[in-house]
Amino acid sequence: MIRWEFCCASSPAAHVFRPLKASERLTRPLKLFLQQNLINIDLLPQFLFILFSPVSAVFRDRDELRMNVNQQPHMASPYGQPQPGYQGYPQPGYGGGHVPSGYPAQYAPYNGPGSAYQQGPPQGMRGPPTSGAPPVSGAQSYSQFGQGETQNGPPPMGAPPQRPPVSQTYTPGAVNLSGPQPPFSQQFGAPPVSMQQMTNQMASMQVGSTAPSPAGPGYAPPSVSQAAMSAPYTPAAPPSFPPTSAAPSQPPPTEAVARPPPQSYYGAPPPAQQPFPNAVPPFSSTGPTQPQAPPPVSPQSFPQAPPVSQPPFSTAQVPPGPTQSYGGPLPPTQPSFSRPLLPTSQPSTFPAGPPPTSTPSQLPGVMQPQPPVSQPSPYHSGPHPTSTGFPPQVGAPPRPPFAGMQGPPMAPQGPPLASQGPPMVQANHVPPTQPGMPPGPISASMSGPPPQPGMQGYPPQQNGAFGQVRGPQPGYTGPYPGQPNYGAPPAAPAPAPPATKRLDPDSVPSPQASDMPPVQKTRHRIDPDAIPSPIQVIEDDKANKGSEPFTTGVRGQAPPLVTTKFQVKDQGNASPRYIRCTAYNMPCNSDMAKQSQVPLAAVIKPLAPLPPDETPPYLVDHGESGPIRCNRCKAYMCPYMQFIEGGRRFQCGFCSCVTEVPPHYFQHLDHTGKRVDCYDRPELSMGSYEFMATVDYCKNNKIPQPPAFIFLIDVSYNAVKNGMVGIVCQELKTLLDYLPRENPDVESNIRVGFVTYNKVLHFYNVKASLAQPQMMVVSDVADMFVPLLDGFLVNVSESRVVIESLLDQIPEMFADTRETETVFGPVIQAGLEALKAADCAGKLFVFHSSLPIAEAPGKLKNREDKKLVGTDKEKSLFQPQVSFYNTLAKECVVQGCCVDLFLFPNQYVDVATLGVVPTSTGGSIYKYTYFQASSDQERFLNDLRRDVQKPMGFDAVMRVRTSTGIRATDFFGSFYMSNTTDVELAGLDCDKTVTVEFRHDDKLSEETGALMQCAVLYTSCSGQRRLRIHNMAVNCCSQLADLYRNCETDTVINFFAKYAYRSVLSSPIKNVRDSLVNQCAQILACYRKNCASPSSAGQLILPECMKLLPVYLNCVLKSDVLQPGADISLDDRAYLRQLVSTMDVSESHVFFYPRLLPLQKLDVESISVPVAVRDSEERLSRGGVYLLENGLNIFLWVGVNAQQELLQNIFGTPAFGQIDPNMTSLPALDNPFSKRLREIIESVRAQRSRYMKLMVVKQEDKLELIFKHFLVEDKSNNGGASYVDFLCHMHKEIRQLLS
């Protein structure tokens, strides 16, 4: 249902926006299309739209990387004007599509079939049984639609529609098409409807389940498109596939990744066609995936269910085969499919052609099937009949209609591809069902095809489809009447709520649908493969951007994704490792910004570590007078400073103030106005560099003392008993040799001190001259002070003997302790006082075990009250329960005292309160719940080692300066602010990130762009005062399209997450969630309204750059903080909340969307890591072994049917039952697989700032519940929506905004 159309192009508006650019490319395809398709004049507009949309989509896709879940183009164009225009055009289809009412009646039947279809694939799973009662399946799909998400499935349908158009365009454009074209035309005649339906379905899928139907209708007219589609497909299929495989192949593999293909397709129309096939496959794949086991059945069921549809289905299924191939990418799918359909071929195809190939292969397969499917014809005919027949069925289950719709589409697709357009469409539809995948793929495919005739043709269809999946159906049926219904349905579907929404959608298509059991609806409605796939996007980005170094010199250019490995060349802007922006094209004025709602933010990681092949920032010393700065705004010398008057003055790029160049800094200018020494000076040519700070930049105008590390160890009963004390002491003995230092050859200047505590504090005098350490007990915790000065902070090498003696004795001394109470506030006070006394900055490492209930400042009470969860008072649980720590934090910051907290709780410790100081001082919190030496030691020690060793700065102040027009208004992270501009960080380590939000306070100019300069003043670990400067320039745009084309979803999500996580402190969580959804909807709606080609409202159109926004946002929404499950403790939530606040983009990305690696695909010979699969249970094969990591945990999931050899290789035992689920590390076995696996685990760990403990999860074990929590595309136990469901919901929101 959901199409991956390249939204941009699809809408006429888009064309308007960028008429010239698109024009050339457009013209030819258009002509071709027209010629080939013999389009009616009446229809022309539509076609134009269609054409445009695909084309534009192509462009945009490339530019923007936008993926419309739905084929926006289609949808958009139709919808945009659609109802009127469309109706006119596709009259029946569109009209129908738009008007839900129409749908119900006529379409209902269609839907029926459609649903059947859709279900087919998805239900296929269920199908088997369903087959008996396709309607049911349909119902399910409907229900899904109703839910919205399910309907997303339908959107794929849209995709098919798009294809049709595309196919059309392609046909003209693409050679393949040409071949196909004829068929298309023919097909169109008949298929059109199906196509439309397909598209509609797709759309509807995307939008709401119902939507499709309308689209169907609308499309019906688009039938042409269908034809096109079919045409392209059929023809394309065989030939195109190969090509596709080549180009698109990649995309497909990724995940039926529509986008990639689209791009490629766009690039080459012909390929586009291929995409289509691909797209189809994806769909099918989805189908398969779900069905995996059942796949075969499903097909069967399908066939059975709707006789007519059946054929299509069967075909569809056949396509599924291909889809499977897509699924192929998804291991499970493939197998299943392979079995049913062309197992061998598929696999072969897959393997043969890398992912892409697989798709192609699949495609071919599909094609073949489709052709054979000639059934399509049956479909068409079938569809109609089916539809009719379905309607009833549908009637029962709303989905059925969809299913029917889809089904039909599928069938059509199959057929279309094979025989006629419609089949194609159906195929598309089918894919659509898979929405998630399809959308991407579809769009891609769409785009792919679109370029070709298919593309163009499709777009419209898609639009239609998106608008209303049913559309197509109606169209099929004749459906136009149904169209109206479709229109309605979409809307209905939009309303995510399964029941009602489904009902709505269903109602539109067919009331019966609503009746369908919700459960069924929930899942299979939308083909997950048809919706945008994060994996696909990631892989595409790797493929496209991973090979060449990223140069920072070009303003406004978005860097590769965080998941892509790339090299950076600093050419005047800060590396993305330091700064990532949400938008690289900022709106010129606040109105635009407000309209788009796209957050303008930068995620800054000032001390980010660089890979070895990149040069660390140069250190610039301007001598005693200090760095050269602008007189007015105090910005530091940087490449944006314009030298004038022969070099005697410079004009500030930020505030335009003119400043004299000091004589010692004077240099002549060359003929271009650049200083001749420009490239000799980092501050004139680089984005990032450091200045030596002079004494003026030091606290109290005194050169700072070298910093100190103070270790404060809880020695209460719990801490001793769980082994923490012993471990820490043992580790410190060696760890102290690895204190941070600037020059590895020199000893670290950092001094260390030791404190242990329970309800009193023990300071240790470890002066080198002592024979034995001396312990000083401070029991006056009410009024903390440091009992000693000399001998507390010592140089490690000088006092080594005494320190070792101390560390040996601490565990002994407290081995028999019975003290269970602890204090906490005084502990930090103690460290703070020690640093004050020594007059230096530093860091406290606090190892703490329990809630501080001993009588002392900062004493806490247990306030864990789960009853508050979900109420308006829930926010109070995230707030500190006493203000003591806020005050203390402030004092810490003043002194430059950074606090890192290691928690070892056995019960509630109130992280929300204990974490105040660490999070205000640039510190970190580590939490080891139920710490056990045996199993958690490694994780803790690795964290500790890294935490101690990592490079960091002390007593830092960060200021972000911006060019006139914008202003840094809000900051997120772990720091303290005493005014509105200076971010004060008592400590700033290489993992800490600050997210800065910008707002307009004036207009920006497109010429100069927007500049920002982040200056961090800090004390290095050797006690040197330095300034690190990061400069960043981004473009400014007056067109929203530019904004949407140059933004980065991962960064946006990072911002959203931090924003939301902070908001929970002040607002009820429900409001926070709502506002997130709302803002996201506004962003997408704005795009839809202003950038995407007009299409039916039922179509979901996503900008290429933001097509993953819904899935990621959903992950944020269902995260433990915002949607807690019953088993998650308040501490964990508070912990995660604070953790996220300092995450950089890469961490937040993997945190919210964990990486899931299929190990059975591991190639022991290569150094590459298997391509990840999507986080859904459906992607897990019972025969596989998977590695999942989210930056905090690593899980090794073992399927019950995992091959013995695999198990033998990994665990040293062939028996599943003998695997010890408690192991925390894999046995070191002497086989390549084991070695390679352990290497991978190590390398994954190395990428993260925290050591991830390995947990082995056996399928069907109770631990699997935990694991499933990380399968974020699935519905979660907490009530978190599945991706598909959420997408539907999102669509509903968008539609509401647009209406």
Contact footprint for another protein (CB under 8 A): 760, 762-764, 770-780, 783, 785, 787-791, 805-806, 809, 812-813, 818
Residue 1062: both structure tokens together: 């902070």
Residue 440 or 773: the one with the smaller Cβ distance to another protein is: 773
Distance between CA atoms of residues 582 and 590, nearest Å: 16
Residue 778 or 888: the one with the smaller Cβ distance to another protein is: 778
CA 206 and chain centroid, separation: 19
CB contact at 8 A, 512 and 392: yes
Distance between CA atoms of residues 432 and 461, nearest Å: 12
Q: How far is the CB of 784 from another protein (least distance, A)?
A: 9
Q: How far is the CB of 806 from another protein (least distance, A)?
A: 7
Question: Of 1242, 1037, 1270, whose CA–CA distance to 1174 is shortest?
Answer: 1270
Residue 340: both structure tokens together: 């049913």
Q: How far is the CB of 809 from another protein (least distance, A)?
A: 5
Tell me which H or E stretch contains 83: helix 82-88
Residue 810 or 1105: the one with the smaller Cβ distance to another protein is: 810
Q: How far is the CB of 560 from another protein (least distance, A)?
A: 55
Q: How far is the CB of 715 from another protein (least distance, A)?
A: 13
Distance between CA atoms of residues 459 and 162, nearest Å: 3
Q: How far is the CB of 762 from another protein (least distance, A)?
A: 8
Residue 1195: both structure tokens together: 């899980």
Residue 617 or 852: the one with the smaller Cβ distance to another protein is: 852
Residue 556 or 825: the one with the smaller Cβ distance to another protein is: 825
Distance between CA atoms of residues 668 and 628, nearest Å: 17
- 666 DSSP 8-state letter: -
Residue 547 or 772: the one with the smaller Cβ distance to another protein is: 772
Q: How far is the CB of 787 from another protein (least distance, A)?
A: 4
Residue 770 or 1298: the one with the smaller Cβ distance to another protein is: 770
Distance between CA atoms of residues 342 and 331, nearest Å: 14
Beta strands in 908-1024 (DSSP E): 925-927, 952-962, 966-972, 982-989, 994-1000, 1010-1019
Q: How far is the CB of 1082 from another protein (least distance, A)?
A: 58
Distance between CA atoms of residues 882 and 867, nearest Å: 20
Distance between CA atoms of residues 193 and 110, nearest Å: 10
What are residue 821's phi and psi, to 5 degrees?
Answer: -85, 150
What do you get for the CA distance between the two ends of the chain, in Å? 21
CB contact at 8 A, 121 and 316: yes
Residue 818 or 1262: the one with the smaller Cβ distance to another protein is: 818
Q: How far is the CB of 765 from another protein (least distance, A)?
A: 8
Distance between CA atoms of residues 355 and 348, nearest Å: 11
- 580 DSSP 8-state letter: E
Residue 901: both structure tokens together: 């907290």
Residue 1105, amino acid:
C
Residue 817, amino acid:
T
DSSP readout, 51-90? HHHHHHHHHHHHHH-B--SS-HHHHHHHHHTHHHHHHHTT
Distance between CA atoms of residues 674 and 668, nearest Å: 8
Largest distance between two CA atoms of the chain: 100
Q: How far is the CB of 728 from another protein (least distance, A)?
A: 17
Residue 809 or 942: the one with the smaller Cβ distance to another protein is: 809
Distance between CA atoms of residues 1187 and 1185, nearest Å: 7
Question: Of 931, 926, 921, whose CA–CA distance to 901 is shortest?
Answer: 926
Q: How far is the CB of 1139 from another protein (least distance, A)?
A: 36
Residue 677 or 821: the one with the smaller Cβ distance to another protein is: 821
Residue 666 or 785: the one with the smaller Cβ distance to another protein is: 785
Q: How far is the CB of 820 from another protein (least distance, A)?
A: 11
Distance between CA atoms of residues 967 and 962, nearest Å: 6
Q: How far is the CB of 716 from another protein (least distance, A)?
A: 14
Distance between CA atoms of residues 198 and 217, nearest Å: 10
Residue 676 or 777: the one with the smaller Cβ distance to another protein is: 777
Q: How far is the CB of 772 from another protein (least distance, A)?
A: 6
Distance between CA atoms of residues 432 and 163, nearest Å: 11
Residues 6+ apart with CB under 8 A from 866: 1126, 1130
Q: How far is the CB of 585 from another protein (least distance, A)?
A: 58
Q: How far is the CB of 802 from another protein (least distance, A)?
A: 10
Residue 745 or 816: the one with the smaller Cβ distance to another protein is: 816
Residues 6+ apart with CB under 8 A from 979: none
Q: How far is the CB of 785 from another protein (least distance, A)?
A: 4
Distance between CA atoms of residues 445 and 265, nearest Å: 7
CB contact at 8 A, 438 and 432: yes
Residue 888 or 957: the one with the smaller Cβ distance to another protein is: 888
CB contact at 8 A, 1085 and 76: no
Residue 772 or 980: the one with the smaller Cβ distance to another protein is: 772
Residue 756 or 1082: the one with the smaller Cβ distance to another protein is: 756
CB contact at 8 A, 110 and 385: no
Q: 3-state SS string over 1179-1194?
A: HCCCCCEEEEECCCEE
How many CB atoms within 10 Å of residue 669?
16
Residue 343 or 787: the one with the smaller Cβ distance to another protein is: 787
Per-residue buried b or exposed e for 1258-1294, using 16+ beta carbons within 10 Å of the residue's own CB: bbebebbeebbbbbbbbbbebebbbbbbbbbbbbbbb
Residue 320 or 773: the one with the smaller Cβ distance to another protein is: 773
Beta strands in 1058-1176 (DSSP E): 1155-1158
Q: How far is the CB of 706 from another protein (least distance, A)?
A: 18
